[in-house]
Amino acid sequence: MADFSSRGPRVGDDALKPDITAPGVDIVAARSANGVIGDPVGDRYVTISGTSMATPHVAGSAALLAQQHPGWRADRLKATLMAAAKPHQDQTAYQQGAGRVDVAHAITQQVSTDPVSVSFGRTLWPHGDDAPITRTVTWRNDGPAPVTVDLTIEGAGPGGRALPAGLFQLGTGQLTVPAGGTAATTVTVNTRLGDADGYWTGRIVARSGATVAVTPLAVHREVESYTLTVEHLNRAGERTSDHWTTLLGMDTFAYWDLVSPDGVATVRVPKGHYGLTGLVFEPGPEDEQRGMSLLAQPLLTVDRDTRIVVDARRAKPVRMTVPDRNATPQLIDLSGNFTADDGSAYGVGLWADTFTGLTSGQLGKPVSADQFVATVSSQWIEPDTANSPYLYALAEAIPGRMPTGFVRDYGRRDLATVVHRFRGGYTGTETERSVYPVLEYNVGGSALVLPTVVPGQRVEYYNTTGVRWESEIYFGTRDDEGWLEPQAVLFSTPTAYRAGRVVRETWSQAPFAPSFPTPRWPEQSVTRTGDTILVDLPMFSDAAGHPGGSLTGSGRTDLWRNGKLVGESEYAGYGEFTVPAGAVDYRLVTSATRSFTDLSTEVESSWTFRSRHVAGDTPARLPLMAVRFAPPLGIDSSAPAGRSFVVPVQVQRQPGAPSVRVTKLTVDVSYDGGKTWQAARVRDGGHGWTATVQHPVGAGYASLRATARDSAGNTVTERIIQAYRLR
């Protein structure tokens, strides 16, 4: 079973699902000419995992079976496929249903059952007075002669426990099924028997020589459980069915959507700890919504039959304001974020575009920030404007509780002002930008997707207490439905700003090349853990260092050891390589080409370094560098032709790598796409290097190449074809 496969039982009645399984991991299939999903396997195939791959196996099996039996309806095809399935001995019926589809068996299968599976549902705890439950199973024989089948039951309980004698009982151990006819018997479950509560599953197996037919069966012998009743009241104190309520498991991952036609929802749940959110809607005239109240109980202990009330009258208004009276909120996010004991995380909340009628409230007692964090955030723009000249982005975290009302009026002194200037690095594309809060708690965040004019500018205002901000900007073309199909992307790493300060940031200015940004997670950039080297680099970062990616025509990443190839990847900037433990000299090379833009059409970086086994599970950052060029270009990423030009250069160390000094840097320039190179005059100014080049007369491009060496002997060589334009 894949770790992402859905398991039963079915929500609500504990019925048996799934019915059948099929291969769905790393399935290779023909690639669509215009397909964008899947990992390439050669030129004509891709590999994909998921239910979308398992389903065609079953559909194809059904098609072959229907070809053999054109008069059969869908129920006959399903019954035969399930009866002929091949069960896995280590999987329960709630994991695999009847088993893996076996088309070779199915096309010769003559015996099937009705029903195709036997679900006994749930018997309520405690079990001393449970009454036996009996179901009838009918076997069909589609063959030309009678079949006598021996009937047995196989199965197991929680933790693989053996079936106790009598838990499942057949009415007979043998049946004769006439040709073209049916025969039936009963199967009974007695949940007073057994030494453990939980799910008991198995299968009825009918055998006659080589003929085998399986019928999965299951019962839920309920663990200690109680009834939770949740009553919902609107702001008028009246019961209302106009709500959306979710119960969340805080011991292990589980959730229930509670619905009620009369405002009172009930659910049977195991003894334990839960979280609950209730969103109560206030109806207005002609079914218009007049308001919403989000209430949350971070911790709810259910150790007896329990009743709680989600009362909208306990909630108070939520409101944020900004200094610009013309600004209007386009996105309001009010959320509760729960963390269960097993590490499972849940986020439940609402999006709105007005604070009018929006309220929030706490139910029960506060808890620690490790268990619950509420967030209130909003983003504001100039109304009725295709490209807003400003953005207000605000986000606050409230640890341990859902606030009973939240009011915050922000003034200029409360906000950082960030002037974002967008250069025209990617001409001929449309642009969308989003700005996300990164709160001190790991709860995520929401953002508007804003059309952005490039070249251009937007002034953005952020609150600063307990929050950093990150953003992303996509460049691409619109599809037939108006969605942006990205061709390049730039990101910012989470940044803390100071209230009252003005900061300027420049985006999408050439050259575009690899960089070493502050990593978001331990494995990012180039690291070694044990004897595995992992490469994860942004190949098309802009001159300011915003990490960037791009569609590429070709790409590869190779690792060499003492002149011999260790491994190769068909992805630019990415690869995972197993290496020997001893100290060895390595050479890492990564490259990419692209054609949708005239800038950085070819990028290549190569490094030499020495590495040995890294003990423990913490990735160690390898001693790599990146040469970062920052020429003073125009907004169209061009420099003046026919004159001397000074290019500032920085040699950027990978963050977290051993600290050494750069001992040598050379820079070359090419004006014919890298066919010939000229040495630039390089100077070390103490706070950075400069390279002076002589641009020829006339429009064209400048390509750059550089090599740096540090005091430990590590080197980097970087090449950027068409790094910037000449005008």
Which residues, listed in sequence order, are joined to residue 296 by a DSSP beta bridge?
277, 362
What is the rounded average pLDDT for all residues in the chain?
Answer: 94
Is residue 254 within 8 A of residue 271, CB to CB? The reply is no
Residue 574 contacts residue 546 (beta carbons within 8 Å): no
pLDDT digits over 668-677, tens only?
999 999 999 9
The C-alpha angle with vertex 141 and arms to 139 and 146, in degrees rounded to 5, equals 110
Secondary element (H or E) of residue 534: strand 532-536
Task: Report the distance separating Cα 29 and Cα 54, nearest Å.
Answer: 12
Burial degree of 115 (CB within 10 A; 0-12, 13-18, 19+): middle
Question: Which residue has tokens 């506060």?
Answer: 366
- Side-chain-facing half-sphere of 628: CA atoms under 13 Å: 20
Distance CA(679)–CA(690), nearest Å, equals 13
Q: Which amino acid is at 1?
A: M
Per residue in 280-299, pLDDT tens?
999 877 666 689 999 999 99
Question: Would strands 502-507 and 415-422 be described as parallel, antiparallel, or unpaired?
Answer: parallel
144-161 residue pLDDT tens? 999 999 999 999 999 899
Q: Can you give the pLDDT at residue 480? A: 87
**CA atoms of 496 and 519, how far apart (whole Å):** 15
Average pLDDT score over residue span 184-193 = 96
Quickly state the pLDDT bin for 723 (edges 50, 70, 90).
very high
Alpha helices in 505-640 (DSSP H): none
Average pLDDT of the residues in 388-402? 97
CB of 673 within 8 A of CB of 719? no
**Domain range 525-726, its CATH number among 2.60.40.10, 1.20.120.10, 3.40.109.10, 3.20.20.60:** 2.60.40.10
Query: Residue 215 is which amino acid?
Result: T
Residues 16/96, Cβ–Cβ less than 8 Å: no
Q: Tell me how far apart the alpha carbons of residues 463 and 396 are, in angstroms, rounded to a whole number.
A: 9
Nearest CA to 292 among 248, 339, 353?
353
State yes or no: pLDDT of 384 exceeds 90: no
State residue 287's pLDDT score. 60
Continuous H helices in 97-141: 103-106
Sheet holding 111-114, edge to edge: 111-114, 133-141, 182-189, 168-170
- Distance, in Å, from the CA atom of 268 to the CA atom of 226, rounded to the nearest integer, reads 6
Write the CB contacts of 214 (distance below 8 Å, at least 6 apart in sequence): 82, 83, 85, 87, 98, 99, 203, 204, 205, 206
pLDDT computed for residue 522 by the predictor: 75
Q: Report how far apart, in Å, the C-alpha atoms of 479 and of each of 34, 475, 482, 488 are.
A: 13, 13, 5, 15
Q: Is the peptide bond before 9 cis (omega within 30 degrees of 0)?
A: yes
For residue 86, what is the DSSP state?
B
Of residues 553, 555, 498, 537, the one with CA closest to residue 625: 537
| Topology agreement, domain 27-221 and domain 525-726 | yes
Q: What is the mean pLDDT of residues 630-649?
A: 96
CB 289 within 8 A of CB 257: no
Closest CA to 53 of 87, 21, 18: 21
pLDDT computed for residue 427 by the predictor: 87
H or E segment at 77? Answer: helix 74-83
How far, rounded to the nearest angstrom, does the alpha carbon of residue 435 sit from its chain's CA centroid? 18
In sign, the C-alpha dihedral spanning 285, 286, 288, 294 is: positive
pLDDT in tens, 304-341: 999 999 999 999 999 999 999 999 999 999 999 999 99
User: For residues 322 and 410, is the Cβ–Cβ distance under 8 A?
Assistant: yes
Cβ contacts of 296 within 8 Å, gap of 6 or more: 275, 276, 277, 278, 336, 348, 360, 361, 362, 363, 372, 374, 402
* Inter-axis angle of helices 74-83 and 51-68, nearest 10: 110
Band the pLDDT of 38: cuts 50, 70, 90: confident
- Percentage of the chain lying above the pLDDT 70 cut: 99
- Distance between CA atoms of residues 175 and 182, nearest Å: 10
Residue 59: which H helix or E strand, with range? Answer: helix 51-68
**Residues 404, 314: contact at Cβ < 8 Å?**
yes
Question: How many angstroms separate the most distant Cα atoms in the chain?
Answer: 98
Amino acid at 686: G
Nearest Cα to 526, choosing from 602, 579, 472? 579
Least confident of 91-95, 192-196, 445-449, 586-590: 192-196
Tell me, yes or no, if the pTM score tops 0.75: yes
Nearest-angstrom CA–CA distance, 464 and 445: 15
Average pLDDT over every residue of 124-140? 96
What pLDDT shows up at residue 41?
86
pLDDT tens for each residue of 461-505: 999 999 999 999 999 999 888 899 999 999 999 999 999 999 999
CA distance 484 to 476: 6
Is 185:175 a contact under the CB 8 Å cutoff? yes
Query: Rounded to an integer, what distance in angstroms lies between the CA atom of residue 304 and that of residue 15?
Result: 26
Domain boundaries, the chain: 27-221, 225-507, 525-726
Domain spanning 27-221: CATH superfamily: Immunoglobulins (2.60.40.10)
